[in-house]
Amino acid sequence: MMKKKKGWASLLLTSLLLLSACSQGNGESANVTPENNTGGGSSLAPAKLKIVLYGEESNRMKELAKTEFYDAIKKEINAEVEFQFLPWTEYGGGKTDLMLSTGEDFATYTDANYMVKSVAKGLYTDLTPYVKAAADLSGTVDEASFKAFQLEGKQYAIPVGNKPNSAEFYSALVRQDLLEETGMTEISSLKQLEEFYDKAHALHPELIGYANTDARRMLQYEYTDKNLYWQNDFIALDESVQDDKIISWFETEEFKDYAKLMQSWFDNDIIPKYAATNIPQLQSDWNSGKAMFWAGTAARPFEGAATISQAVPGAKLTNYFLGTGRPKISRGTYSSAFFVSAAAKDPERYVMFFNLLQKNQELYDLFAYGIKDTDYKLDENGRLTKLTTDSLIPDWLLMNKNFMRFDNTVPDAFIAEYKAWDDGAIISKGAGFNFDNTPVKNEETKLNGVFTEYLAPIGSGFSNYDTAFPKALERLKGAGIDKYIAEYQKQFSEWYAKQQ
């Protein structure tokens, strides 16, 4: 069962006490020690921070950033925060890279791959000496989430969020209202899922079946006995065995069997023909209630229903696994993780800000929902009704099952199921491993090209495996898959040995 190891943060920080005392970044960190910090901002020197968020900034966010957000942050950690919004196209590159390379003082979120590349360039601050400033956060975010953003034992980003993340995309997220309309009540196998499509198609020929082109997780009960978990498009792990062997996915019999399943879905219109040239339309059709099923996560039944019900008021969504007997696999419970730029004058104060996002119910409500009775209201059961549609700090980023509010459309039974989703889950044996692609960067670029041109169409069922794969394999070998796999295996084996 996946449980947080109590006291792990304290052990880490005890071992780093001397390091923290002697190494304070550039010498301008917060003037506070564990002894004199009482949790408020009064003992801290004033600081100015810049937090970059992605997407569009709402008018309400602009207003709160200057008023209630400003007051709360000032009171808690004596800092003034400037929130800067960038388009999502600037995430993991673009202007974010420019800001890092030109020495701007800011923090924003990252993924593990972007972290590895940026740390190699010296663009992130090592946050290990400041982890104690996230003491509240570390009490509600699990150890695996912190490890996912460590390199050589050093913490380069602070994970935020605590939500059930196991078995992401391994379930079929089914339109339960359509399922019941066909006379069926549940789905537990591929055969039943295809039966649902046939019956629903007869009733609603205008609807599409699967609103995606990747079902390798959802269908693995059908084509393999292994418990596969993918590190990237090329590499998988078998979580049912305790070893360090990586799997070159496209060179397996499992990929062959999977590709033929997907081709049958494409040939039989379970995946619509337009998907071969217009994949974005699939997402649009799902959101507008024009699809029968999608790949599921723990939260998608209520997240997805909120969107679809605007077009189809009676829509209901339910997760179904097409098989049983394999533990759910988790990478950790985080939503994302914040890094601090190497040029930051006060990295510790940034970590204190990250901590505020997950400190307590009052602050969580403020940052996620705004002001009670102005932006939202709560009923006697703590159920949420939003009074404004303006987004604040992105709710997906903050999502913490200990604090998040549900509205009255979400049944009590589903909330209980959601909070227990990770019970019995296992942490992937690759959680926390970050591949350094420097030795095979050229090969990786070529492999990505082969993936897009040859392998993705085969894996989506658009191309026939028997006729298209020999050429795809030839291109895969020519691009350097053997060298890439060997380097990945070398690094993973070295890392895995250290974890034992």
- Tell whether 189 and 93 lie within a shared domain: no
Residue written as tokens 């601090």?
340
Q: Helices 481-499 and 465-479 sit at what angle, rounded to 10 degrees? A: 70
Task: Express each pLDDT in 345-354 by its tens digit.
Answer: 999 999 999 9
The answer as to whether 415 is a domain residue is no
Residue 434 has a pLDDT of 86
- Tell whether 115 and 69 lie within a shared domain: yes
Which pTM does this prediction carry? 0.79
The answer as to whether 422 is a domain residue is no
Q: How far is the C-alpha of 458 from the C-alpha of 262, rounded, in Å? A: 8
Q: How far is the C-alpha of 308 from the C-alpha of 211, rounded, in Å? A: 13
Ranges under pLDDT 70 in the chain: 1-42
- Tell whether 19 and 156 lie within a shared domain: yes
Residue 361 has a pLDDT of 96
| Residue 117 identity | K
- Tell whether 309 and 197 lie within a shared domain: yes
Domain boundaries, position 40: 8-163+333-410
The DSSP H or E segment spanning 291 is: strand 291-296
Taking a C-beta distance cutoff of 8 angstroms, is the pair 410, 385 a contact? no
Residue 246 has a pLDDT of 97
What is the secondary structure of 445-499 as a DSSP string?
Answer: HHHHHHIIIIIHHHHTTSS-HHHHHHHHHHHHHHHTHHHHHHHHHHHHHHHHHHH
Residue 35 has a pLDDT of 36
Instruction: Determine if residue 92 is left, alpha or beta; phi over 0 gives left, psi from -120 to 50 gives alpha, anything else beta.
Output: left
Residue 233 has a pLDDT of 94
Taking a C-beta distance cutoff of 8 angstroms, is the pair 401, 426 a contact? no
Residue 117 has a pLDDT of 87
Residue 152 has a pLDDT of 84
- Evaluate the CA torsion angle 8, 13, 15, 16 in order and state its sign: positive
DSSP 138: H
Beta-sheet pairing, 336-340 with 107-110: antiparallel
Q: 348 in helix, strand or coil?
A: helix
Residue 87 has a pLDDT of 94
- Angle in degrees, CA 292, 390, 394, rounded to 5: 70
The DSSP H or E segment spanning 235 is: strand 235-238
- Tell whether 443 and 454 lie within a shared domain: yes
The answer as to whether 466 is a domain residue is yes
The answer as to whether 423 is a domain residue is no
- Tell whether 119 and 212 lie within a shared domain: no
Taking a C-beta distance cutoff of 8 angstroms, is the pair 369, 387 a contact? no
Q: Helices 68-77 and 361-369 sit at what angle, rounded to 10 degrees? A: 150
The pair phi, psi for residue 84, each rounded to 5°, is -115, 125
- Tell whether 106 and 213 lie within a shared domain: no
Q: 366 in helix, strand or coil?
A: helix
Last residue of a domain, one of 395, 410, 425: 410
